[in-house]
Structure 1
Amino acid sequence: MVAAHPATAATGQVVSVTARHTYPTRGDVDAALSADKFDPGTDRYGVRTYRLVYRTTDATGKPTTASGLVALPINDQRKLRTVSFGHGTSIYRGDAPSTSDDVFLTGPALTFASAGFAAVAPDYLGLGAGPGPHPWMDVPSETTASLDLLRAARVFARTEGRVLTRDVYASGFSQGASAALGLARALQAGADPWFRAAAVAPISGAYDFRRAEIPALFTPAVHPVLASAYTTYLLAAFDRLHDIYPTPGYVFRKPYVGLPELFDGTHTGQEVIEALPATIDDLLTPAGKAMLLHPAGRFAAALAEADSVCTNWAPRMPVRLYYSPGDEEAVNANTDSCHRALGAPKVDLGVNTSYNGFVHEGSEVLGVPAATRWFIELGN
């Protein structure tokens, strides 16, 4: 089993708390969610949100800090069950739950908190207020960042007169779907003496990079510009952490050799999109394409680690794999693969393209309310 770095006395320690937004009533939450296409049907309470900066470990196990959003319902319940939600892929460090006002990023936490849960949404390493570049799709550090935010949130909740119970419901979208499974796996393995995984509801994840997602990048199944974006992010992030190619010129064609430099957290997604080629074939050298389609060595090992969220454990908590048919980013073959490996049921969310015209983004808008209703049902 792939484990997160072990906790120390400092991990989960709160460094700072910043009040973000107050939605005094259920109606205020309804308005915020409805404006960004989320279904407010599970809303019951107003919500207060906070940014927590906390101590954790980086992808190599060294001490660092990370940030995340904590959302608490405005009600008289002292004891709260917790939902941890992992966000989807972000390129720019400001596009994170604790630093952005984009409801696509904050809406899941608002939804869960307004339903009566404490909600935590890690920014992951290198995003939000955390230092350094983001180690994209690195499950061990996603797990550590998620665990340590739970620990920090438990300490913070006490200062607000609240107690987080042992039960943690894990969910997440896209990249965050893998993060949710990684967190649930770690909690099941006893990674924290207090928290335990009550259920996990990942949404539209890329759970099988090697056999499902990477091959699809070279087909019309994935939007061509986004195929270039995800490929560059994958290669840049994995090389930074695992040293998988000798030079950028080995995998990237001219004039795209400098593209990995844009994935340092300081450039916006729009800047990156404008710099990308129209197709993945324009992006990669023959060696780069061969490396992706036939991974070996350190690259193959890193992909196996990312894909391990569905392959090397047997969940003892309820699991539902939410997806939307025709996903043009995290292709449905990923969910099919995870379904076969874990034996967990798939839940068809239907299709909603009202969010930027993409099925993938629409699946978060559909999946978060569905997961909320399921978590409420399980807790009753």
Structure 2
Amino acid sequence: MPNRRLATTLACAVMLVGSAAGATGAIAAPAQLPLSHRQAQNDRGALLDVAHLYTLKTREAVTAELAKAGFDASQVRHGVDAYRLTYRTVDPQGRPTTASGLVVLPRGPKGRLRAVSFAHGTGSHRSDAPSMQRASFLTGPPVAYAAAGFAAVAPDYLGMGEGPGLHPWMHVPSEATASLDLLRAARAFHALDRKVFVTGFSQGASAALGLGRDLQAGEDRYFRLGALAPVSGAYDFGGAELPALLAGELEGKSSVIYAAYTLVAFNRVHRVYDRAEDVFRDPAVETLFDGEHTGRQLFEGTPGTLGELLTPYGRDLLAHPRGGLADALRETDGVCADWTPKAPVRLYMASGDEQAATANTAQCAEALRGRGVEATVVDLGAVDYQGSRHLGSNVRGTAEVLRWFEALS
């Protein structure tokens, strides 16, 4: 069993950035809007609502906010204003839906701003989303980017924040559409430069690459990809992450939760299993991933080992993906292998990461090299945040990515 300190970290953040461990119930979500598929595609990114969340008027106020969240404040130059935007987007089947996200703007700079799109790591409760929190692990990066003079744009993802439905975890195509459509909504709210700097942590690292791919492909007529800087991603989920997880090379409790989340969430988009009891020894595990259970509840409601979690069939399915799971993994694992970035790329990771196998980054760099792209790999070293190198990579990575983006600007 993990030690008490690690247990607390995982309960609050299993990649699960669960500041929602103290959440107190469901968040009302807007109903889906009666649009056709064609109308939904044409109306993507339409801004529906803006809510002002908070203002940090001075550099000192921002510094205090970042310090409370555990983030570096050495590059703070402005106060900031934070807003929740609600906007139209599409679900994994292309049907109309809505989503929310955080937009943080610097106080002082006028005119167009260069946007930094930040995609967050895994959460279990729908309030594990940037627009639902403050002074937290989730909001540190967007506040830091905005305080340096960028327009920070951080999607909550589908089924999180104030968006309806269940969250399709690690579904890169819908992460990318939600991210792109928030950029469109943010542009309707404030003038933005054409070039976008794109970053993300953990789950958000794959989401960042997916957004970069869509921007380069011209999915939006205005925005263009300026640079890519994902941090500690599981880019080769089927070839690196799952094998390391099953081999016991990663932290045990987080491996249990990721194994369960993989089966449940991928089953929402691709038919992975027919009945929960086919893959889980306790079928009730499936109900924990409904967006209403906190990180702590997820930690306490799942067993301590993969052997206690999975049936023999469930373990074999993860070890030898087939059917819907194989389809899902092809979709997820294409983020480094099926396109050729033309913008600068840096891949950030931390040696000894206990949740995202570092082989993910190595294999992503190799895949890009095979397409003629020399992506710089930056090892952030022995970082730590509440006993976790994985979470620590987001904290140090934010400071390093910000320095790089400023140099590129």
Normalising by the residue count of structure 1, what TM-score does the alignment of the two structures yield?
0.95
Identify the residue that residue 119 of structure 1 maps to in structure 2. Answer: 152
Letter in 2 for 1:348: D
Of the three residues 346, 349, 357, the one matched with 2:377 is 346
Q: Secondary structure of 2:131's partner? A: coil
Which range is displaced more, 337-346 or 132-141? 337-346
What's 1:165 paired with? 193
Partner of 1:135: 168
Alignment of 1:180-259 (within 5 A): 180-253=208-281, 256-259=282-285
Q: Does 1:55 align with 2:88?
A: yes
- Look up the match of 1:160: none
Which 10-residue stretch deviates more, 195-204 or 31-40? 31-40
Q: Distance in 2 between matches of 1:290 and 1:219?
A: 13
**Do residues 81 (structure 1) and 114 (structure 2) align?**
yes
* Preserved contact between residue 235 and residue 364 of structure 2 (Cα < 8 Å): yes
Does the residue aligned with 2:128 lie in a helix, a strand or coil? coil
Are positions 1:274 and 2:306 aligned together? no
Q: What one-letter code is carried by the residue in structure 2 that aligns with 1:241? A: V
Q: Secondary structure at the match of 2:138?
A: helix
Correspondence for 2:314 among 284, 288, 292: 288
> How far does residue 125 in structure 1 lie from its aligned partner after superposition?
0.1
Match in the other structure for 1:156: 189
Alignment of 1:357-368 (within 5 A): 357-368=387-398
Tell me the SS of whatever aligns to 1:187.
helix
- Deviation of 1:221 after TM superposition, in Å, equals 2.2
Question: Is the partner of 1:61 in helix, strand or coil?
Answer: coil
Aligned residue identity for 1:330: A
User: Which whole-Å CA distance do the structure 1 matches of 2:56 and 2:367 have between them?
Assistant: 41
Distance in 1 (alpha carbons) for counterparts of 2:355 and 2:99: 27
State the 1:102 CA deviation. Answer: 4.6
Please list the CA deviations of residues 45-71 of structure 1 after superposition, one character each: whole Å capped at 9, or x if unmatched.
000000000000011110000000000
Query: Match for 2:332: what amino acid?
Result: A
Inter-CA distance 340–72: structure 2 relative to 1 (3 Å threshold): same
Match of 1:176 in 2: 204
Cα distance, 1:95–1:102 mapped onto 2, change above 3 Å? farther
Partner of 1:319: 345
* Corresponding residue number in structure 2 for 1:30: 63
Q: Which amino acid aligns with 1:293?
A: A
Name the structure 2 match of 1:95. Answer: 128
- The 2-side partners of 1:274 and 1:118 are apart by 38
Aligned residues: 367
Q: CA deviation at 1:35?
A: 2.0
- 2:103 is matched with which residue? 70
For 1:203, the aligned partner's letter is V
Greater shift in the superposed pair: 356-365 or 97-106 = 97-106
CA 1:241 to 1:102, structure 2 compared with 1: closer, same or farther past 3 Å? farther
- Flag structure 2 segments of 5+ consecutive residues without an equivalent: 1-36, 370-374
Q: Distance in 1 between matches of 2:272 and 2:294?
A: 25
Letter of the 2:193 partner, please give it.
T
2:20 maps to none
Q: Distance in 2 between matches of 1:220 and 1:290?
A: 15
* Amino acid in structure 2 at the alignment position of 1:278: G
Q: CA deviation at 1:36?
A: 2.1
Q: CA deviation at 1:76?
A: 3.1
The residue number in structure 2 matching 1:11 is 44
**Deviation (angstroms), 1:10:** 1.3
Q: Distance in 2 between matches of 1:295 and 1:95?
A: 29
2: distance between equivalents of 1:42 and 1:79? 20
Q: Distance between the aligned counterparts of 1:102 and 1:115, measured in 2? A: 17
Q: Is the 8 A contact 2:267 2:324 kept in 1?
A: no
Matched residues in 2 for 1:27 and 1:14: separation?
32
Q: Which runs of 5+ in 1 are unaligned?
A: 158-162
Instruction: Quote how far apart the aligned CAs of 1:95 are.
Output: 1.1
How many percent identity over aligned positions? 53
Which amino acid is 1:352 matched to? V
| Structure 1 position 42, deviation (Å) | 1.3
Cα deviations by residue, 1:167-226 (Å, 9 ceiling, x for unpaired): 100000000000000000100000000000000000000001111000111233211111
2:357 is aligned with 1:331: yes
Shift, 1:231, TM fit: 0.7
